[in-house]
Structure 1
Amino acid sequence: MIGALDTKGQEYRFVRDTLEACGLETYVIDTGVLGEPAFPPDVSAGEVARAGGSSMEELRSGNDRGRAVAVMTRGAANIAAELERQGLIGGVLGMGGTAGTTVAASALQALPIGIPKLLVSTVASGNTRPYVGVKDIMMMYSVVDIAGINRLSRRILSNAAYALAGMILRQQLEQQQGADVDDKVTLGITMFGVTTPCATRVRELLEDRGYDLLVFHATGAGGQAMEELIRAGYIKGVADITTTELADELVGGIFSAGAGRLEAAGTAGIPQVVSVGALDMVNFGPPETVPGKFKERLFYQHNPTTTLMRTTAAENRELGRILAEKLNHSAAPTVVVFPRGGVSLLDMKDGAFEGTQERQALYEGMKQHLRADIAMIEMEEDINHTAVADIIAGQLLSLLELTRKG
């Protein structure tokens, strides 16, 4: 349990007692700066401050709330990561308002995917992405402020404690029963609505060969999640069909996965087959949210909340260069599949974004900069043609086989 025992001590004591009544052992990390804890923690706030690069005396004398939150955020994350390395964490719970949520979320994000993580927060009904990131963090809206135990908060905090207990006890039960461990090799696929036919066929072909497939929706968070799971060692090969997040990063759309997209597989050295799915578009919200500087561009209303903007030839040439140079730094077995007939359901014959010049610019940008030893397979069909999907699946299977033999 991670939280401020000076201002939320009564609530943490209640949840601690509920968890212990379920038969769980608790370990409490205090992040409170303002005063003394309501009960003795296992890790003091002073220890957290030191782990964050400061001291309790400095934080209190400085009277700077922002700095105090930043220090305790770093410290909580460092301590949680160390406890996990020691194998001491079965699940984590945090509670708080904006500051408490920020501090606890940093610790939860420092833990591997799969460890139960629950965050009871006053801000859980709003934009939760800063707190969840790409980790499997469950956020529960507290409805009322976390300030005292009353008729409503008692029910909500009890639900939170029992939810975490259920997740932890399930894991213990599976271990006791000797539940079968899934020994399938896990692969990743990136997909968008406009590349669904290709991704679906590739997934089915690979599943038929006994692989476990994780499909990531290329909406920024999806790409980040895949990169994170690659770095964590979960994913052993990638069919990176839909690299559209690179376009949003370049042009300024809402689905950017950050500057590090398309780098984890290369660094990890796992086989990857890469294509150019949905690089014909940049994503925005409703029409009124599109920046005015783009008003003369070509748009397609994908749905009421998603507006797609056609990428230009110049942008495609730059995207080709970016994609090629990312792959050039790769230490992984890599194949590129380029569908000359179109890169999405919109960029094909008679489609809303049909663009032979844009595709040619994308091809030239990639071809000019791609490392000579990286194979680039050109297909006359569009990306959603079965022939393209078959090539992508077949190439990845070949790379996986070579890696296995090697």
Structure 2
Amino acid sequence: MRNPTILIVGTYDTKSDELGYLAEVIGAQGGAVLTMDVSVLGDPAIPVDLSKHAVAEAAGASIAQAIASGDENRAMQTMAKGAATLARDLHAAGRMDAVIALGGTMGTDLALDVCAALPLGVPKYIVSTVSFSPLIPPARIAADVQMILWAGGLYGLNPVCKASLAQAAGAVLGAARAVQSPALTALTPELKRPLIGMTSFGKTVLRYMVALKPALAARGFDLAVFHATGMGGRAFESLAAQGAFTAVMDFAPQEVGNHIMGSAVSAGEDRLTNAGRSGTPQMVSIGCYDLVDLVGWHPVPDKLKGQELHAHNRLLSSVMMTHAQRREMARALCARLALATGPMTFLMPLHGGNEWDRPGGPLSDPEGLAAFASEMRAHCPPNVDLQELDCHINDPAFAKAALDLFDAWCAKGLIA
């Protein structure tokens, strides 16, 4: 087993005992540590590798300026910017393999920025007094971050908080030893199996991956299918931004609709943009375009009240879009597709976009689908090849059309 280096981030002026204990446990298990102090007012009680002054400088500021702001929140945001920049640079330079951060609300706020700055696949652990709390918005959470409640740890070491810290130390070290970076795995020459990124839902709703996965494997490609329920889309976009995919089949862009309709089940403002910006060849389609997923136990947003609601389970509910909302969805998709710099095809199955909207199905709405298709035609940007298909998204003809296009791109050398 290799001995990775773990970056430990925290306020060493007030939490040196706890941070030192983390380092002690990691070291006892054979790991190395790199320490970063993100304090503002006080000085660390133990030596650190990266001082608060280095952190502030990485944010283009100084500790004196942070203090002079007279605002604790503003000062910590400066430190968050610097800590995120340093963490990203340290990882790019191969100086650290994973990060663990410790804090209450202030430290957690900073830790979320640090974790978001690191690529998917880098182990990220936050030990926090507000882990799993509604204080933390989904938009701030890195797709692969792990959180552990810092139980009984608000002030000083004790047997309860030591249990949390020791578990977290073992978890981050074990993850760093075992991890295989998705981006590096996808591009490692000796593996010779480039990676295709796909979005979907369970196969009772969308089924194209059942046919496409073995067909792509036979052609020498791996397929990663992301569950488009917010965090899945975040992971997909993170990898797309890294250039981890040789092509994408983004057939379930529903998270775009969730976002513009105000649902908490969002993958963020940049959903459906990163593959295009990186020049990755991409196919996009209409999987569940007509539904807005909502947190099942949240109140329905005002703009969606009175619309047909389907409770999928206790965690997730779906609202059917009106015709006007479907047109809005089409315009939002077109605006994002216009950003693409590489090959871009929109596959438009004219008979429906999920198993429930087939003719005679519980969500069948031919007029709504026609309204969406009409808006797509009217606003489709010139860089997008809009292909209308005389089938449903779950028909074999859809998977065949996607595979035929994929083969054509391979023949042209657009996909290697």
Instruction: Give the TM-score taking structure 1 as reference length.
Output: 0.90
User: What is the count of residue pairs matched by the alignment?
Assistant: 400
**Mapped contact 1:271–1:400 kept (Cα < 8 A):** no
In the aligned structure 1, how far is the partner of 2:64 from the partner of 2:250?
Answer: 50
**Mapped contact 2:250–2:283 kept (Cα < 8 A):** yes
| C-alpha RMSD over aligned residues | 2.5
* Structure 1 position 327, deviation (Å): 2.4
Relative to 1, partners in 2 of residues 1:335 and 1:132: Cα closer, same or farther, differing over 3 Å? same
In the aligned structure 1, how far is the partner of 2:25 from the partner of 2:378?
Answer: 63
- 1:376-391 alignment, distance < 5 Å: 376-391=386-401
Q: Which residue of 1 aligns with 2:141?
A: 133
Structure 2 counterpart of 1:60, which letter? I
Q: Which residue of 1 aligns with 2:346?
A: 336
**Partner-residue secondary structure (3-state), 1:196:** coil
**Mapped contact 2:112–2:142 kept (Cα < 8 A):** no
**Mapped contact 1:187–1:237 kept (Cα < 8 A):** yes
- 1:221-260 alignment, distance < 5 Å: 221-260=231-270
Match of 1:55 among 38, 62, 65: 62
Residue 44 (structure 1) aligned with residue 44 (structure 2):
no
Unpaired runs of 5+ in structure 2? 1-7, 181-187
**Mapped contact 2:120–2:235 kept (Cα < 8 A):** no
Q: Which residue of 2 aligns with 1:324?
A: 334
Map Cα deviations across residues 112-131 of structure 1 (whole Å, 9 max, x no partner).
22222222111113245558
* Structure 1 position 292, deviation (Å): 4.2
Relative to 1, partners in 2 of residues 1:264 and 1:293: Cα closer, same or farther, differing over 3 Å? closer
In the aligned structure 2, how far is the partner of 1:141 from the partner of 1:50?
Answer: 31
**Partner-residue secondary structure (3-state), 1:349:** coil
In the aligned structure 2, how far is the partner of 1:79 from the partner of 1:158?
Answer: 25
Relative to 1, partners in 2 of residues 1:229 and 1:18: Cα closer, same or farther, differing over 3 Å? same
Q: Which residue of 2 aligns with 1:355?
A: 365
Match of 2:88 among 73, 76, 81: 81
Match of 2:75 among 25, 49, 68: 68
Q: Which residue of 2 aligns with 1:176?
A: none
Q: Which residue of 1 aligns with 2:200?
A: 191
Q: Which residue of 1 aligns with 2:315?
A: 305
In the aligned structure 1, how far is the partner of 2:304 from the partner of 2:415?
Answer: 51
The 10-residue stretch of structure 1 (39-48 or 207-216) with the greater mean CA deviation from structure 2: 207-216
The 10-residue stretch of structure 1 (188-197 or 381-390) with the greater mean CA deviation from structure 2: 188-197
Relative to 1, partners in 2 of residues 1:249 and 1:150: Cα closer, same or farther, differing over 3 Å? closer
Residue 159 (structure 1) aligned with residue 167 (structure 2):
yes
Map Cα deviations across residues 216-269 of structure 1 (whole Å, 9 max, x no partner).
111222223212211111111111111112222333233333332222222211
Q: Which residue of 2 aligns with 1:274?
A: 284
**Mapped contact 1:319–1:365 kept (Cα < 8 A):** no
Structure 1 counterpart of 2:116, which letter? Q
Relative to 1, partners in 2 of residues 1:171 and 1:382: Cα closer, same or farther, differing over 3 Å? closer
Match of 1:124 among 126, 131, 152: 131
In the aligned structure 2, how far is the partner of 1:256 from the partner of 1:158?
Answer: 33
Relative to 1, partners in 2 of residues 1:155 and 1:135: Cα closer, same or farther, differing over 3 Å? same
Relative to 1, partners in 2 of residues 1:131 and 1:145: Cα closer, same or farther, differing over 3 Å? farther
* Structure 1 position 138, deviation (Å): 1.8
Relative to 1, partners in 2 of residues 1:74 and 1:318: Cα closer, same or farther, differing over 3 Å? same
Map Cα deviations across residues 29-57 of structure 1 (whole Å, 9 max, x no partner).
10112322110111111221222233222
In the aligned structure 1, how far is the partner of 2:255 from the partner of 2:336?
Answer: 14
In the aligned structure 1, how far is the partner of 2:169 from the partner of 2:282?
Answer: 41
In the aligned structure 1, how far is the partner of 2:385 from the partner of 2:164?
Answer: 56
**Mapped contact 1:313–1:361 kept (Cα < 8 A):** yes
**Partner-residue secondary structure (3-state), 1:28:** strand
In the aligned structure 2, how far is the partner of 1:131 from the partner of 1:322?
Answer: 19
**Partner-residue secondary structure (3-state), 2:206:** helix
* Structure 1 position 142, deviation (Å): 1.8
Match of 1:105 among 109, 112, 117: 112
**Mapped contact 2:291–2:320 kept (Cα < 8 A):** yes
In the aligned structure 2, how far is the partner of 1:212 from the partner of 1:321?
Answer: 32
**Mapped contact 1:195–1:242 kept (Cα < 8 A):** no
Match of 2:296 among 286, 295, 301: 286
**Mapped contact 2:143–2:231 kept (Cα < 8 A):** no
Relative to 1, partners in 2 of residues 1:372 and 1:118: Cα closer, same or farther, differing over 3 Å? closer
* Structure 1 position 395, deviation (Å): 1.6
Structure 2 counterpart of 1:277, which letter? G
Structure 2 counterpart of 1:163, which letter? A
Relative to 1, partners in 2 of residues 1:385 and 1:171: Cα closer, same or farther, differing over 3 Å? closer
In the aligned structure 1, how far is the partner of 2:165 from the partner of 2:265?
Answer: 34
Residue 295 (structure 1) aligned with residue 305 (structure 2):
yes
In the aligned structure 1, how far is the partner of 2:215 from the partner of 2:372?
Answer: 28
* Structure 1 position 209, deviation (Å): 2.5
Relative to 1, partners in 2 of residues 1:169 and 1:302: Cα closer, same or farther, differing over 3 Å? closer
